[in-house]
Amino acid sequence: MNAASVVVARPSNASQLILLFHGVGSSAANLVPLGRHIANAIPNAIVVSVDGPHPSSMGGGREWFSVAGVTEENRPARVAQALPAFVAQVEQWQAETGLGPPQTSLVGFSQGAIMSLESTQANVLAQCVVAVAGRFAQPPRLAPQGVKFRFVHGDLDGVISPHFSQEAAERLRSLGSDGYAQIVPDLGHGIDARAAQGVVEALA
């Protein structure tokens, strides 16, 4: 596990594990405020903000995969290459806490959301995935049984269009999954109080 990951809450009677994954050029510390909001609302959850494995190619912070020269065509391959390390981090926290996929939720922002969403196409790591200002690297190909998908996205996001969240939720429903997108008015590529509350409601 990355030493820079932050354990936001670790109650002795924990029955849930909630893992947070930041965006490119950011770090685990940046999602601690969201983690605290979640921990206050869900007191029986271990909440961990996980640090990305690589220094960011953007000049600061960390990343899950490089976005230098990224395109719609090469993004899926980059995500696929990064997935084993991502899966390993999730499984390490599950092993340490004794809480498995049925008790685990993944919350990702931007690139962290891409990794969380794409992990569902090859592994069942969690019973709930909440993507904030994120997207699939490519449209979802399957809907894993028992996994709930929630998308929270600002309607003014100029980095990742909210249409990706809306289309993914619709596609997942067509595949037989539980998918829903909440579009937050007048919000760009970020997390405000309304988006944070949407995350909590998705996890509840």
Catalytic residue list contains 22: no
Catalytic residue list contains 186: no
**HEC per residue, the chain:** CCCCCEEEECCCCCCEEEEEECCCCECHHHHHHHHHHHHHHCCCEEEEEECCCEECCCCCCEECCCCCCCCCCCHHHHHHHHHHHHHHHHHHHHHHHCCCHHHEEEEEECHHHHHHHHHCCCCCCCCEEEEECCCCCCCCCCCCCCCEEEEEEECCCCCCCHHHHHHHHHHHHHCCCEEEEEEECCCCCCCCHHHHHHHHHHHC
Catalytic residue list contains 192: no
Of the residues 110, 116, 119, 177, only one is catalytic, namely 110
Of the residues 5, 119, 157, 165, only one is catalytic, namely 157
What residues act catalytically?
110, 157, 189
